[in-house]
Amino acid sequence: MAITTSLAGKTAIVTGSNSGIGLGVATEFARAGADVVLNSFTDRDEDHQIASDIAAAHGVKVRYIQADMSKGDQCRALIEKAGACDILVNNAGIQHVAPVDEFPVEKWDAIIAINLSSAFHTTAAALPMMRKAGWGRIVNIASAHGLTASPYKSAYVAAKHGVIGLTKTVALETAEEPITVNAICPGYVLTPLVEAQIPDQMKTHNMSRDDVVREVMLARQPSKEFATVEQMGGTAVFLCSGAAAQITGTSISVDGGWTAL
């Protein structure tokens, strides 16, 4: 039997998807034929325009639904408002850097809520829909920091380790069902936010762009190349394809060899 990567007829919800990795993932799902629900905490005309642009480019249905992923009730409401959820991508996340003894409590709480607890809430709401449909895929966007650590990132590292633990647990709970649960662990990805940091780094270190990228930003990424949002999206689409039907409870690193060190 031929294995297809077409996701026509499926609905994919991607949290935190009006920019960066989330937008790249959502776009690749649309390219593969899935209808898509975009999300972020804002509710601007440009958010809805992004949805319209993707729909027009790929001939699928795309909606934008505002929901604050720091609030559990809004996480669950996002799934309910979507009305269907064949594919769930938990991507929403924030970051803060500080020594643990100086780490602001409100930043810790926000990072744990958005990066970890939101995935619990959306997953709990989505699973009944997947079971009713007889098929489901959950892809959690973790991080290389879900497998290793860096100083001054206690909340982020703790949350991303938690995402991988949640991934494994839900995979075991659904192992005898046509539902898979996996995590993608990106290294440094070239997003608009990262791109915007390069000029300041060039000034700070008095280096060329190439040297800043290789020696500062990608110091821990052996390939010395950024991953791309398209690669994240392609990996997510693969995990939802027939070829990945027996891949569950695992983490796929897209980190240029970072976690091989």
pLDDT of 140-175, one tens digit each? Answer: 999 999 999 999 999 999 999 999 999 999 999 999
Based on DSSP, count helices (H) and strands (E) in the chain, helices before strands. Answer: 9, 7
User: Beta strands of 19-100 (E only): which ranges?
Assistant: 35-40, 62-66, 87-90
Cα distance between residue 90 and residue 123, in whole Å:
9
Indicate whether 1 pLDDT > 80: no
pLDDT at 5 (0 to 100): 72
The 10 Å Cβ neighbour count of residue 53 is: 13
DSSP 87: E
Nearest 5°: the CA angle 81, 82, 85 is: 135
CATH 3.40.50.720 residue spans of the chain: 11-188+228-254
Burial 149-159 (b: 16+ CB within 10 A, else e): eeeebbbbbbb
User: Using an 8 Å Cβ cutoff, are 29 and 42 in contact?
Assistant: no
DSSP labels for 8-22? TT-EEEESS-SSHHH
Q: Strands 35-40 and 11-14: what pairing?
A: parallel
| Residue whose token pair is 């690669």 | 231
Indicate whether 87 pLDDT > 80: yes
Confidence of residue 4 (pLDDT cuts 50, 70, 90): low
Residue 152 backbone class (left: φ over 0; alpha: ψ -120 to 50; beta: rest): left
- Which residue numbers are catalytic? 156
Cα distance between residue 158 and residue 122, in whole Å:
19
Rounded to whole angstroms, what are the CA distances from 36 to 7, 120, 185, 242? 11, 20, 22, 19
CA trace torsion 234, 236, 242, 246 (10° rounding):
130
Cα distance between residue 213 and residue 218, in whole Å:
6
Q: How many residues would you count in the chain?
A: 261
- The third-level CATH classification (topology) of the domain covering 11-188+228-254 is Rossmann fold (3.40.50)
pLDDT digits (tens, 9 = 90+) for 30-68: 999 999 999 999 999 999 999 999 999 999 999 999 999
Confidence of residue 95 (pLDDT cuts 50, 70, 90): very high
Could you tell me the two tokens for 25? 């993932």
Of 246, 250, 252, the residue nearest 234 (C-alpha)? 252
